[in-house]
Structure 1
Amino acid sequence: MRIILLGAPGSGKGTQAKFLTDRYGIPLISMGEILRNIVQKKSDLCLKIKKFINFGRLLPDSLIIDIVENYINYNNYRNKFLLDGVPRTIGQAIAMKNKGILIDIILEFVLSDALIIERTVGRRIHVPSGRIYHTKFKPPKYNDLDDITGEQLVIRKDDEKNIVHKRLREYHKNIVSIIEFYSKRSYMNNALYFKIDANRNINDINLELVNIFSQRLR
């Protein structure tokens, strides 16, 4: 199966991506993780990407799809993957199709902007381990310090409130045309689209996804 997860930043799609990967063994391709790995390396590509990320702007479609295609081909994921973070524009969706990166299932996680902002701006990260805290939902024992090491927690640049607002505007501007693109009969794979209410208990969302996949895997 070739699956894309759609949803605004903070909608919980990353959590569900891990659940699906663990349960079904589908390789996860996280565009955010790929970009963060690139940014850690000192290169021209790193500097180019940083300029976009730091201002909450989307990278050029051609650059994004080249990175995705190279990653898929290198890991031999052409026929089985879970893609989180791409496509974010209709241009990316079209470019993926043109390069033969086809999609079977689209899962869109829907949550109100107010809840997304609350979830996102309260996030705190322990960079070395990747541990994630939240000032309201999962606070550390001591303010802005990692529970295990006592090291300083940080706010990711794209979790700052003004950046989150920019990213939400970009998401809403692009999502309708992306869904319409995959819903058209002209799309080669007859992709199935599912809208997931993300304002629920994680276990309830897990169960809905299991039901969707059970029907698909028959």
Structure 2
Amino acid sequence: MRIVLVGPPGAGKGTQAVRLAEKLRVPHISTGDLFRANISQQTELGKLAKSYIDAGNLVPDEVTIAMVKDRIEQPDAVGGFLLDGFPRNVQQAEALDQLLETKGIKLDAVLVLEVPEDEVVKRIAGRRICRNDSSHVFHVTYSPPKKEGVCDICGGELYQREDDSEETVRTRLEVYHTQTEPIIAYYKAQGLVVTISSLGPVDKITQRALKALKRDDA
């Protein structure tokens, strides 16, 4: 299957993308991972992207699209893929359609994860990260540490990242509504959109997604 995953920040896209890709036996293609891989491997696209990032500018759509094109042409993506973080706007969605058309293939579905805005703010603003190890993540409501402000695993100080503040989260949501949400209408016109709730236990959301994709036997 060839799937695009869409949802606001805090909807659990990263978690569900990994789980769904494994269940559907397709590679999970995250634009964040693509940027990091190209930059660390110093590919021509990576060098180009880094030049924009270092200058404090957004990486142009054409560079992002070129990275995606290169990735979906890899052997493991021939039978399908799950795109996470791309397309981010209608222009990128149109470019993806054109790219797939040149290969004689199409998307099978655009899976939209829905979550109320207040829940997004609660999820992200409540996160606390360990200063010693950023993989140690807690939440003031859903997975609080035994001792406030202290990592259960290593005893490190827990802190809230700047981009996890409520004000920043609401700004990110506004960007999502303005730039990314319009792609849902774009894909609805093609009959590709399936929407599920991203509330509840992680396993239940995965099962919901597989059922929506008509792959609940996966």
1:42-191 matches, cutoff 5 A: 45-46=49-50, 48-49=52-53, 51=56, 59-74=59-74, 76-100=76-100, 102-126=106-130, 128=133, 130-185=135-190
Contact 2:16–2:206 (Cα < 8 Å) also in 1? yes
Runs (5+) with no aligned partner, structure 1? 53-57, 186-190
| CA spacing shift, 1:216–1:123, aligned 2, 3 Å | closer
**DSSP-derived class of the 1:100 partner:** helix
Contact 1:146–1:152 (Cα < 8 Å) also in 2? yes
1:211 counterpart residue number: 211
Runs (5+) with no aligned partner, structure 2? none
Identity %: 32
2:124 maps to amino acid: T
1:203 and 1:76 map into 2 onto residues whose CA distance is 26
Deviations 1:103-156 (A, max 9, x none): 211110111111101101122334746232212211223444432233344544
Q: CA deviation at 1:8?
A: 0.2
RMSD value, Cα? 3.2
1:104 and 1:94 map into 2 onto residues whose CA distance is 15
2:108 maps to amino acid: D
Deviations 1:3-50 (A, max 9, x none): 111000001222222221232222111223444566779967446336
Decide which moves more: 84-93 or 34-43: 34-43
**DSSP-derived class of the 1:32 partner:** helix
**DSSP-derived class of the 1:146 partner:** coil
1:71 and 1:158 map into 2 onto residues whose CA distance is 29
1:9 counterpart residue number: 9
1:41 and 1:158 map into 2 onto residues whose CA distance is 27
Deviations 1:24-78 (A, max 9, x none): 22211122344456677996744633636xxxxx643223222322333346424
1:162 and 1:35 map into 2 onto residues whose CA distance is 26
2:51 and 2:138 map into 1 onto residues whose CA distance is 28
2:118 maps to amino acid: A
1:157 and 1:180 map into 2 onto residues whose CA distance is 32
**DSSP-derived class of the 1:178 partner:** helix
1:83 and 1:113 map into 2 onto residues whose CA distance is 23
1:188 counterpart residue number: none
| CA spacing shift, 1:157–1:49, aligned 2, 3 Å | farther
Contact 2:21–2:81 (Cα < 8 Å) also in 1? no
